[in-house]
Structure 1
Amino acid sequence: MSDAHRFWLNFLLLYAFIASITPEDCFYSQKLPDKLSLLDTKLNLSYCNITRLQPSTFRTYLNLQILDLSYNALEELDFSVFQYHTALEKLDISHNKLRTIKCSSLRYIRGITHVNMSYNYFETAFLCKEFATLTQLRHLGLSATRIDRYDFVNIAHQALETIFLGLEHLQRYESGSLQLLNTEKLHVVLPQVLTDSNLLLYDDFNISTTLEISHVLCEETCDDTIREVNMVIQKSKVSKLILRNITMPWHEMGKILQLSWHSTIEYLTIHRFTFTNRFYYEYIDFSKGSLKSLTFENVIPNVFLYSSVQHPLNIFSEMFVENLTISNAELTYFSCPVKSSIFQSLVLTNNKLSDGIFQNCETLTNIQFLNFQNNILERLSYIPSMTSTMQSLKHLDVSGNRLYTDFNTICEWSESLLVLNFSRNKITDSIFNCLPTNVEILDLSSNQISSVGKELNRLRSLKALYLSSNQLSHIPDCSYISTNLIYLNIDENLIYSPSKEQLTKCQNVKQIIIGKNKYQCNCDLKAFTSTAEMLHENLIGWPESFMCEYPEELKGVILKNFHPSEISCNIFILVGLIVGTMVVLMIFMFFLCKYFDLPWYIRMIFQWLRRKYRVRNSYRDEDMMGKRFHAFISYSQEDYEWVKHLLIPNIEKDDRSIKICHHERDFIAGKTIIENIINCIEKSFKSIFVLSPNFIQSEWCHYELYFAQHSLFGKNSNNLILILLDPIPQYLIPNKYSKLKAIMKHRTYMEWPKVKGKHGLFWANLREAIQTDIPLEDEETSVFN
């Protein structure tokens, strides 16, 4: 079968399984598709009202390793539904309605390591003989209302790691029943009502080295419980005791502590302890005993009265125990031990301890690990003075407080301090003026540090420096940092454009984390990227953690894939390209000007555009009334041949769209020349003057220009068109042509090109200058009518 066929077959099987679970069957059916995947090794079907499992239910999940079917409504279970799941390791069927299981089907889960069958409807804890075949079983969860002596005989030979017994509803227990269990840790939820519970406790304390007991409730007095514990604890083999969900008065807990101190118990953990009644100081002799570690986690003080001469919490500072943890206890006070303490580890996390703790305390000479994480410490100057008397202190954690730098005195740290955690505070750059010189691991992450100064060079033993989530704008100068530094974390800062030089100086650091910064991808980052590629073995997270943030169009692009052009990043290449382009353009322009007379063409086009604009915006209808000709031509008789054979034929074409007033055909006989000139100028919309040295020598040309001056210049001088047929030096123009001099000096005129190839553009430009829509009179009408 091909991979494609196998995929579609699995898909159809998955669809059939999902379709078989109706919305009424599953409380979270809308989330169910998100949980299901053919490739998943974990499947969570808890909190569904599943009452029965079909043989084909899980057939498609061949890789299934962890299955959670807790909090359902299963009434019976046949393990044959898992016959195809050889990889299944963990199965949780707790909190269902199971009364029996089909023991013969246990052979299908022989590779199972975790089975939780607690909180079902089993009356007895009896495990059938087929459980003996589960040779890989390491964790087992059970619950029952009755436990008989031989209920666990079939697993007696198995060395388990953990057994959980939920016995809240236990009604009968036969002595010695738990003695058959062979486990490293036993977790028992004590029954609410049980006669002779000491028998159960005795067995609990003697079958494993680690014991966890849950749900001990005695709000007023715990004499029976204390007495029973005292009876069995003396012969106990338990070295690690965990008490969970305990409610009792503080003085009763004190009795349990005293009993534990003089037993085989070495590690005592009390989790979620609610103490009631009064809270007062009571002396307990902790000087002798085997207890090495004491932990209080999640302490709920339902106490309304404190009554004692000494502070009630002094009992903790007097304890002779190497490791003490008090966490989530709303602790506001912890006194300095009166006598020299054997504390080696003191963990006071998630409390409300404030400034001043352990000031001038000289009895914590053996302390090596001190943790004040998540309290309300504020003044950083108290921390060095606190440690100065702790001669053995190696690890200090004051993270998650409100510390700010306020150093006004000389910093006196413990010389033995090697690990210092200042993360998640309000510390600024001045912290580098006051650090322990022998520290090897320094955590300053999640603070307000903007730069790392030269003061860091005093830390000659520094091996790891954490500066993530600060306000750094550049990579610290590693030349000022110890040569022993092997780890540097500066991710999630404000490093937009790190330089190649900064990274090169840190090339001896074996592990650098600098990703997750908001990189601005530009030319300045190109050199850094090249260096980072060479040092990629030192850069943790390269290249996937290094992404562009700016500009917006490059957001999300990996730095390794950012390749700006060489031209845009090299100023010399860019300048050379611009200069070279300009030189080539100048040479090209010179070539055009020399061989193609480009300026002439430009002037002609400019004139054409200018006239086009003026015609569109300047001519009024009343200016065109009474006009019969588009233009009147004035020229010297010496230029007659050019006008007759070139000018008129190229302007007046066959379409007769333009009509020229020419004296040879349009002057009226019987009229004087002056009268004809005046009338022709008035009947023409524009006047064309063909200028040449001959023009300024002609008297009649002088008259025509004079009349045109008075007729046109006062109205619209744009209607005067000058054609320079031949060059006219200014000194040859007589004074009487002063107006002509001014016009030629300040107005553009059209030059007749000698090159034949330019004639076409010249005539087109001239026609455009003359062309206009005028209400021409009937040709038969007299000029003078």
Structure 2
Amino acid sequence: MHITQSFVVILLMRWKVSEVAGNCSFNETQSHCTCSGLHQKNIGGLIACFPASVIELQGGNLEQFVHFASTIEVKESAINILQVLQVTKIIFRDFVVPEVLLAAAMKFVSYLRVTELEFESCTFLGNASWFHLDSKFLPVSSLRFHNVTSPSLADRGKDFSSLSGWLGTLQNLTVTQSHVTYIPCSIGKVFRDLRYLDVSENQLQDQSIRSSFCQGTFPQLQVLILHHNNLSSFHTMCEMLHPLKKLTHLDLSQNYLTALPSSSCEWQPSLLILNLSTTGLDHVTLPLPRNVEVLDLSSNNLHSLDLALPFLKKLHLSNNRLQAVPTAKNYPALEVLSLDGNLIQHLPRAELQSLRHLQNLRAGRNHYNCSCAAASEIQVLAGVKSLMPDWPQDYACESPSPYQGTLVKDVPVSVLQCSKAIVIIPISVLLVLSCLTGIICFARHRARSAEPVAKL
């Protein structure tokens, strides 16, 4: 095989061209081959990677190969090799990649079994034409970019129009820590079958959300991760994401959101999982998705929560300012409840036990009042098998002062100690009964003493 052809095959497979054969390491257990450094000489060391299902190439500036882009052709000999390989995932890490070379190299992907393609800490240079892939079938269904730098996507809808056949079938797309400010509407409409989109840790703002999720974009999207961007309005998110009629999972965590009490926006009924953790919320009064099953409000500034969510199964309220357990009747289907790291002093045993489906309760790191009755209730709850996985190490007393810092499990609790009434009431009853008995006996004695006089 010609050296250029061989190089491209190896490059596309995430194999590396190495001057030292030992630079490729194959882990047979994980079926993972890692190669570091990329040169044009001595490709024999790459043979060790042939059985791998995951190929990872680390480090290299591919500008040195850019002149190959115009001469690359897929020959029969290359196709035969490509179709035998078992690789299903290819990773580029720490590369400088001219886009024209990538476009040329993608010719070979249609002959591979690769379903996952990843670029991590890479820099893409220039723009390329992708017209030659217009009729190609690309098996890649998952595409991931992390910490990458590339030319702006603005006005590049035509550049990617030739990829619409492939992008229209892509299932998963991840673009994280890559300075994304918005997704052009025209490009978003290409992703006709995308189910999962993660654009975490970028620079999206409220206005860019309006343009990125215009009508007709991502019609099949089910999971949207917007974690750690520059979003600020809960109402805007509700409005702008409303066209996503099949959305089931939305992550807005680590955005500083403001909630407007007057908002009338309603979320799509399809939304079942909502993550609003670490968003700075001090109250939640806006309508939440009516069918939500998992709600994460942890690490906020909530002092209370009074929402009726009849289908909610998992409620995460860790690390807030709650002073009391939310009303159990609002969440009849609840299975998991996280209350750890709040200001709660008392766990209402009867109310929590009324949650018939509750399987997991985390309520450690609170300010528990360990009065006898309160400590007893917590100990009874902890006695339910597997209910409180953070028991007993995270349950300590805040008050009264004799028990401050003591684990709740070590607070002495007994029937006589916890309820004086249990002692006082029986004694009182005995005294009353004794008095009644004395009165009855006295009355009978008087009656018997009076009988002879009556007969006379």
- Shared fold per TM-score greater than 0.5: yes
Q: Distance in 1 between matches of 2:252 and 2:145?
A: 19
Q: Quickly say closer, same or farther: Cα 1:307–1:428, change in 2 above 3 A.
A: closer
Q: Distance in 2 between matches of 1:503 and 1:404?
A: 31
Q: How far apart are 1:363 and its partner, in Å?
A: 2.9
Q: Could you say which structure has the greater relative contact order, defined with CA pairs below 8 angstroms and 6 or more residues apart?
A: 2
Q: Distance in 2 between matches of 1:250 and 1:165?
A: 18
Q: Distance in 2 between matches of 1:368 and 1:427?
A: 25
SS at match of 2:284: helix
Residue 516 (structure 1) aligns with = 365
Residue 302 (structure 2) aligns with = 449
Q: How far apart are 1:556 and its partner, in Å?
A: 3.1
Match of 2:284 among 430, 447, 458: 430
SS at match of 2:148: strand
Does the aligned pair in 1 maintain the 2:296–2:316 contact within 8 Å? yes
Q: Distance in 2 between matches of 1:313 and 1:419?
A: 35
Q: Distance in 1 between matches of 2:201 and 2:162?
A: 17
Q: Distance in 2 between matches of 1:286 and 1:409?
A: 47
Indicate the percent of aligned positions where both proteins have the same amino acid. Answer: 24
Match of 2:312 among 462, 465, 468: 462
Deviations 1:175-199 (A, max 9, x none): xx999x998332222444515x4x6
Q: Distance in 1 between matches of 2:413 and 2:153?
A: 75
Does the aligned pair in 1 maintain the 2:33–2:49 contact within 8 Å? no
Does the aligned pair in 2 maintain the 1:504–1:531 contact within 8 Å? no
Does the aligned pair in 2 maintain the 1:325–1:346 contact within 8 Å? yes
Q: Distance in 2 between matches of 1:287 and 1:468?
A: 50
Q: Distance in 1 between matches of 2:182 and 2:222?
A: 21
Match of 1:543 among 392, 414, 420: 392
Q: How far apart are 1:172 and its partner, in Å?
A: 11
Output the amino acid matched with 1:341: R
Q: Quickly say closer, same or farther: Cα 1:258–1:381, change in 2 above 3 A.
A: farther
1:222 and 2:66 aligned: yes
Q: Distance in 2 between matches of 1:316 and 1:464?
A: 44
Match of 1:335 among 184, 197, 203: 184
Q: Distance in 2 between matches of 1:540 and 1:191?
A: 50
SS at match of 1:375: coil
Residue 34 (structure 2) aligns with = 187
Does the aligned pair in 2 maintain the 1:182–1:207 contact within 8 Å? no
Q: How far apart are 1:553 and its partner, in Å?
A: 5.1
SS at match of 1:414: coil
Match of 2:56 among 212, 224, 248: 212
1:471 and 2:321 aligned: yes
1:344 and 2:195 aligned: yes
Does the aligned pair in 1 maintain the 2:334–2:355 contact within 8 Å? no
Does the aligned pair in 1 maintain the 2:15–2:56 contact within 8 Å? no
Q: Distance in 1 between matches of 2:217 and 2:31?
A: 38
Q: Quickly say closer, same or farther: Cα 1:311–1:494, change in 2 above 3 A.
A: farther
Does the aligned pair in 2 maintain the 1:402–1:426 contact within 8 Å? yes
Higher radius of gyration, 1 or 2: 1
SS at match of 1:324: strand
Cα RMSD (Å) of the superposition? 4.1
Residue 377 (structure 1) aligns with = 231
Does the aligned pair in 2 maintain the 1:313–1:333 contact within 8 Å? no
Match of 2:292 among 432, 435, 439: 439
Deviations 1:170-229 (A, max 9, x none): 1799xxx999x998332222444515x4x666x477433322222231347523489679
Q: Quickly say closer, same or farther: Cα 1:452–1:505, change in 2 above 3 A.
A: farther
Q: How far apart are 1:501 and its partner, in Å?
A: 4.3
Q: Quickly say closer, same or farther: Cα 1:252–1:333, change in 2 above 3 A.
A: farther
Output the amino acid matched with 1:539: M
Does the aligned pair in 2 maintain the 1:240–1:267 contact within 8 Å? yes
Q: Distance in 1 between matches of 2:107 and 2:356?
A: 57
Residue 448 (structure 2) aligns with = none
List alignment gaps of at least 5 residues for structure 2.
Answer: 1-13, 426-456
Q: Distance in 2 between matches of 1:524 and 1:281?
A: 74
Structure 2 counterparts to residues 225-374 of structure 1, below 5 A: 232=78, 235-236=81-82, 237=85, 238-257=87-106, 259-260=108-109, 263-276=112-125, 278=126, 285=134, 288-301=137-150, 309-310=155-156, 319-320=167-168, 321-336=170-185, 337-339=188-190, 341-356=192-207, 357=209, 358-374=212-228
Q: How far apart are 1:366 and its partner, in Å?
A: 0.9
Q: Quickly say closer, same or farther: Cα 1:423–1:171, change in 2 above 3 A.
A: closer
Q: Distance in 2 between matches of 1:271 and 1:509?
A: 42
Output the amino acid matched with 1:476: P
TM-score, normalising length from structure 2? Answer: 0.73
TM-score, normalising length from structure 1? Answer: 0.45
Q: How far apart are 1:532 and its partner, in Å?
A: 2.1
Q: Distance in 1 between matches of 2:32 and 2:271?
A: 37
Does the aligned pair in 1 maintain the 2:25–2:34 contact within 8 Å? no
Q: How far apart are 1:404 and its partner, in Å?
A: 2.4
Q: Distance in 2 between matches of 1:229 and 1:272?
A: 28
Does the aligned pair in 2 maintain the 1:361–1:386 contact within 8 Å? no
Q: Distance in 2 between matches of 1:228 and 1:551?
A: 79
Deviations 1:525-579 (A, max 9, x none): 2343354245454223222321113456534311121127889866769999xxx
Does the aligned pair in 1 maintain the 2:223–2:250 contact within 8 Å? yes
Does the aligned pair in 2 maintain the 1:333–1:353 contact within 8 Å? yes
SS at match of 1:429: coil
Residue 170 (structure 1) aligns with = 20
Does the aligned pair in 1 maintain the 2:155–2:184 contact within 8 Å? no
Deviations 1:640-678 (A, max 9, x none): xxxxxxxxxxxxxxxxxxxxxxxxxxxxxxxxxxxxxxx
Q: How far apart are 1:341 and its partner, in Å?
A: 1.4
SS at match of 2:378: helix
Q: Distance in 2 between matches of 1:398 and 1:224?
A: 44
Q: Quickly say closer, same or farther: Cα 1:508–1:165, change in 2 above 3 A.
A: closer
Residue 420 (structure 1) aligns with = 274
Does the aligned pair in 1 maintain the 2:154–2:184 contact within 8 Å? no
Q: Distance in 2 between matches of 1:274 and 1:257?
A: 17
State the number of aligned residues: 397
Does the aligned pair in 1 maintain the 2:69–2:100 contact within 8 Å? no
List alignment gaps of at least 5 residues for structure 1.
Answer: 1-163, 577-785
Q: Quickly say closer, same or farther: Cα 1:513–1:375, change in 2 above 3 A.
A: same
Does the aligned pair in 1 maintain the 2:94–2:120 contact within 8 Å? yes
Does the aligned pair in 1 maintain the 2:103–2:128 contact within 8 Å? no
1:395 and 2:245 aligned: no
Q: How far apart are 1:410 and its partner, in Å?
A: 2.0
Output the amino acid matched with 1:443: D
Q: Quickly say closer, same or farther: Cα 1:478–1:309, change in 2 above 3 A.
A: closer
SS at match of 1:186: strand
Residue 19 (structure 1) aligns with = none
Q: Quickly say closer, same or farther: Cα 1:485–1:495, change in 2 above 3 A.
A: same
Tell me whether 216-225 or 438-447 shows the greater mean CA deviation. 216-225
Residue 429 (structure 2) aligns with = none
Does the aligned pair in 2 maintain the 1:477–1:505 contact within 8 Å? no
Q: Quickly say closer, same or farther: Cα 1:484–1:286, change in 2 above 3 A.
A: farther
Q: Distance in 1 between matches of 2:129 and 2:104?
A: 13
